[in-house]
Amino acid sequence: MQTFQQDCVELALRRFRRGEVSRRELLAGLVALGAVAPGAGALAQAERQIVMVNWGGLANQGFGDFYGKPFMAENPGTRVVQDSTGPATGRIRSMVESGRVTWDVCDSSATGANLLGKLGLAAKMDYSIINREDVIGPGFALEYGVAPYSFSSVLVYDSAKFPNGGPTNWADFWDLRKFPGTRLLRRDASCVLEAALMSMGRAPYPVDIRTGIRRVMELRRNLVFWTNGSESEQLMRTGEAEMGQIWHTRASVLHKESNGRFKFLWNQAVLQPGIQVVPKGNPAGELAQKLLASMLAKPEPQVGLLGLLGNGPTNPKAAAMVPAELRQYNPTDPANEKQQVVLDGSFWGENYQQANQDFLDAVTG
């Protein structure tokens, strides 16, 4: 299953190949996301080094210029290095349990942070170093992780298929009589079950897993599933689905490239924090916390990331810096944010593994 972070790297490279962004803009944007270059894991043992780990990209030079050099200037004797080998939860667990931790800051999720914390595999965030006021809300500053960016799962639809007006909420998404056609969902329980419950007028949290799965199965004959961002975009573009729940970054691409034919809704979208975690026993110690504090405190790089990839800023000062033409694509713009539900990472940290297996068994059975 492709992660949102991997999909953002793919989108950035596509824009670069089309000549829509320069190499410098590409590197800067991937750095803001945290995409990094391989081969740095072996450097982690050196004193006063911070190893950041993400899902790959071309941002080695950009990361050094964009975050590394300023942070090193503020912290003499510290070196920031990068590793793009992929910070999967299982790999973090293996490192911590073996006592051979070489990573300091890892791109994860609210679900992953809560799961790692529950298992004793992640360090608690030090809020004497990190300022909680540098993020837009409590869902972005967790006990075991913090979010320098955000993204949303939104309802997108092809307005050409609905000349009398498209869906306005998840209840419409489930209304096959009023809005006939094929629906598109991610092959993953998270966000899908929230939408299912909201379609029934139910509160999304705590997720009623069985009810949500039964609701999804009502659409079974009208469903196709996606596993990566490019697939979700292609299924909408080719008309294999009339509407779907996809990442807002892909929905934004569809909207722009179709001159507004593909529309998407912030209403009842699921807003998700792009969480960074610190593995327990990380070599850099509290320096990792200081780097996270720096990433959260600077809104300008977050706005740059929005322009390149569509990821939402999480610093509350950033919204006022967003150019007017980008506000409609910003998940954390105040007008857009208030329409959404923030993902409950605590719930999914406790329940994801079993809930997702039950969901997959149902939709593939």
Which domains are delineated in the chain? 4-150+272-338 (3.40.190.10), 153-270+344-364 (3.40.190.10)
List the single range of 43-57, 157-171, 194-208, 342-356 with lowest mean pLDDT. Answer: 43-57
Residue 48, amino acid: R
pTM of the model: 0.84
Per residue in 70-110, pLDDT (tens digit) is: 677 788 888 878 787 888 899 999 999 999 999 999 989 99
- CA-angle at 141, arms to 51 and 348, nearest 5°: 95
Q: Which residue has the tokens 């829509």?
A: 20
Q: What is the mean pLDDT of residues 166-191?
A: 98
Contacts of 39 (CB under 8 A, 6+ apart): 83
Mean pLDDT, the chain, whole residue set: 88
Specify the pairing of strand 243-247 against strand 146-158: antiparallel
Burial class from Cβ neighbours inside 10 Å (0-12, 13-18, 19+) for residue 324 reads exposed
List the beta strands (DSSP E) in 207-343.
Answer: 223-226, 243-247, 262-277, 341-342
User: How many Cα atoms sit within 13 Å of 255 on the Cβ side?
Assistant: 18
Q: What is the mean pLDDT of residues 316-337?
A: 96
- Percentage of the chain beyond pLDDT 70 is 87
Per residue in 26-63, pLDDT (tens digit) is: 665 655 555 544 444 433 333 489 998 876 553 344 44
Phi, psi of 94 (to 5 degrees): -60, -40
pLDDT band at 232 (very low <50, low <70, confident <90, very high): very high
